[in-house]
Amino acid sequence: MNKNLVQTLTYTFEGHAQQTETGVEYWLARDIQHLLGYAEWRNFVLVISKAKTSCEVSGHSPSDHFVDVNKTIAMPKGASKDVPEIMLTRYACYLIAQNGDPRKSEIAFAQTYFAVQTRKAELIEQRMLDAERIHARKKPTETEKDISKVIFEQTGGNQDFALIRSNGDLALFGQSTQAMKAQWKVPDSRPLADFAPTILLKAKDFATEITIFNARQHQMDSEGKISKEHITNNKAVRNTLLERGIRPEKLTPEEDVKKVERRQHSDDKKSLKKPDTLDKG
């Protein structure tokens, strides 16, 4: 397939994409029918039927990706009529292409186009999840600096800060920091938080923020009082998680957040080496 045809088909497929009010991208089946080189709707419906079966076999609900609607078309002499139409997600279009006639150049293109575009969407989603985790990891570090400062300001020292933090982990996880490190196979030299799932990072941070607020609000003047407050808050957060079916100590560890940061930094550097430029035609 020559480069000009690939560019033409790409612009054509992208040009027919629409969005729902909530921002979900979709295509209309009658548009896709012609883009894939099918002259007859009845023949294209057979392909759609196979695609729905593939969708179900893959563990997805066809009704989430193939939505039946009606479309009004113009008829001779100013008349009009409603015809069946289907809203298709990107995944639905990919499955249709996979079940189409591979001899058609349009089908061959669509198979690659929708596979690549779906992969791009997955990469974007993963990058956003990674960015959220990186931010969630940095936030408790700043919050712990704040609680250390509060302890010092209100008690005159913070030599027991490490113990207070450890007691908080025990209350949240139901077991010690060292026990969790052993369970998650975290090196002794590394913080447990570097391997914690995003939800636990946010849970720890929330409990610490409450401790800071109450320590200031009630003018707690001893590390013992603040430690007791911190334990209470972590237990409360743990109970909330348990009520929602989330047992902190049973969650599996995530990838080392330092590796995630390095990967994102590397990807950024690569993308900036050959930036897009404006045409000067």
Mean pLDDT of the chain: 87
Two tokens, residue 116: 């690549």
**Is residue 6 scored above 70 in pLDDT?**
no
Determine the angle formed by the axes of helices 198-217 and 161-173, rounding to 10 degrees.
130
pLDDT band at residue 277 under the 50/70/90 scheme? very low
**Is residue 95 scored above 50 in pLDDT?**
yes
Domain boundaries, the chain: 3-101, 126-270
Of 125-129, 267-271, 273-277, the range with the highest mean pLDDT is 125-129
| 217 or 274, higher pLDDT | 217
pLDDT band at residue 78 under the 50/70/90 scheme? low
**Euclidean distance between CA atoms 86 and 21, whole angstroms:** 17
DSSP label at residue 67: E
Per-residue pLDDT, 75: 65
Per-residue pLDDT, 13: 81
| 273 or 189, higher pLDDT | 189
**Euclidean distance between CA atoms 117 and 123, whole angstroms:** 10
pLDDT band at residue 273 under the 50/70/90 scheme? low
Per-residue pLDDT, 194: 96
Q: In the predicted model, what is the mean pLDDT of residues 224-234?
A: 95
pLDDT band at residue 142 under the 50/70/90 scheme? very high
**Is residue 170 scored above 90 in pLDDT?**
yes
CA 212 to chain centre: 31
Q: Which residues share a beta bridge with 56?
A: none
| 263 or 197, higher pLDDT | 197
Q: In the predicted model, what is the mean pLDDT of residues 83-98?
A: 89
Show the CA angle centred on residue 206, arms to residues 229 and 211, nearest 5°. 25
CB atoms within 10 A of CB 55: 22
**Euclidean distance between CA atoms 147 and 137, whole angstroms:** 16
Per-residue pLDDT, 79: 67
**Which of 91-95, 147-151, 266-270 comes out lowest in average pLDDT?**
266-270
**Which of 53-62, 73-82, 110-119, 202-211 comes out lowest in average pLDDT?**
73-82
* Alpha-helix residue ranges (DSSP H) falling in the chain: 3-15, 29-35, 41-57, 90-98, 105-155, 161-173, 177-184, 198-217, 223-243, 257-273
pLDDT band at residue 280 under the 50/70/90 scheme? very low
Per-residue pLDDT, 3: 60
The distance in angstroms from the start CA to the end CA of the chain is 26
DSSP label at residue 252: P
Per-residue pLDDT, 83: 83
Two tokens, residue 130: 């990674």
- Please write the tens of the pLDDT for every residue from 32-77: 998 888 999 999 999 999 999 999 998 999 999 999 988 776 667 6
Per-residue pLDDT, 256: 95
**Is residue 138 scored above 60 in pLDDT?**
yes
Per-residue pLDDT, 73: 66
